[in-house]
Amino acid sequence: MYDERRSHVAKAILAYLLEHPDAQDTLAGIAEWWLPEEEANTQLELVKNALDQLVAQNLVLERHSKDLQTHYRINAQRLQEIEKLVK
């Protein structure tokens, strides 16, 4: 059940990034702004695990900023693969 929810959240993140390819944000920003309303109460840990999965698959890139925040954005080189996953 948890893996299914994590995959659902990961797919929602990818869908958002396809619609907003220049978007990048932190974990808190993604949880608040990128997920559909039905996912609004998703726990940060679940969103973090979904992001970790996407980073491990090289679909999402992470960048550590000087303020120690991690920012996430789409891997533009994998757009075609991401489009297939979201559909």
Provide the percentage of residues in the chain whose pLDDT is more than 70.
98
Both tokens assigned to 67: 């303020």
Instruction: For the chain, state the CA radius of gyration.
Output: 12
Residues 10-49: tens digit of each pLDDT? 999 999 999 999 999 999 999 999 998 777 667 889 999 9
Query: Mean pLDDT score of the chain, rounded to an integer?
Result: 93
Residues 52-64: tens digit of each pLDDT? 999 999 999 999 9
Q: Which long-range contacts (CB under 8 A, 24 or more apart) does 24-28 make?
A: 24/63, 24/71, 24/72, 24/73, 25/71, 25/72, 26/69, 26/70, 26/71, 26/72, 27/51, 27/70, 27/72
